[in-house]
């Protein structure tokens, strides 16, 4: 009976540890998208080769951890990622520099955490 309980506990441990580690990695290191209404874009500069975007998030419990970018024809889609604030990501302010590789960009959108959670930030509407 003790052996069976030990086997069951080991199986539960083997299943739970990777799940917990993945969740910790996602929340503290890689980050996640936040709702658009929690972001404040303060500066956008577009030149021939570089798009520079800066701003911050209204929540003091989040730290900027990176971004994902996709150029869809002439539309640049940027998704800032935030994680729980820690020594790895202590700042809520973000600075994004995107190399356009001389591609034409007509619009820039910031994407949030939902399918329809997006906002055009350049050119200003």
Does 117 fall in a domain?
A: yes
Q: Would the pTM count as exceeding 0.75?
A: yes
Does 24 fall in a domain?
A: no
pLDDT over 70 percentage in the chain: 99
Largest Cα separation within the chain, whole Å, is 71
- Structural domains in the chain (count): 1
Pairing of strands 75-84, 107-111: parallel
What is the per-residue pLDDT for 67?
A: 96
Does 106 fall in a domain?
A: yes
Does 22 fall in a domain?
A: no
Does 19 fall in a domain?
A: no
Domain region containing 70: 31-122
Asked if residue 83 lies in contact with residue 32, where contact means CB atoms within 8 angstroms, the answer is yes
Exposure of 8 in the CB half-sphere (CA atoms within 13 A): 5
**pLDDT tens digits, 40-79:** 999 999 988 899 999 999 998 999 999 999 999 999 999 9
């Amino acid at each position: 009976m003790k052996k069976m309980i030990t086997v069951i506990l080991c199986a539960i441990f083997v299943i739970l540890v990777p799940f917990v580690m993945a969740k910790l990695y996602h929340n503290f290191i890689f980050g996640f998208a936040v709702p658009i209404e929690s972001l404040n874009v303060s500066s956008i500069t577009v030149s021939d080769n570089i798009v520079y975007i800066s701003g911050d998030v209204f929540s003091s419990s989040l730290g900027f951890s990176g971004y994902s970018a996709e150029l869809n024809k002439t539309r640049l889609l940027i998704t800032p990622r935030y994680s729980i604030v820690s020594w790895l990501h202590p700042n809520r302010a973000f600075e994004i520099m995107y190399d356009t590789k001389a591609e034409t960009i007509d619009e820039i959108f910031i994407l949030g955490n939902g399918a329809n959670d997006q906002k055009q930030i350049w050119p200003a509407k």
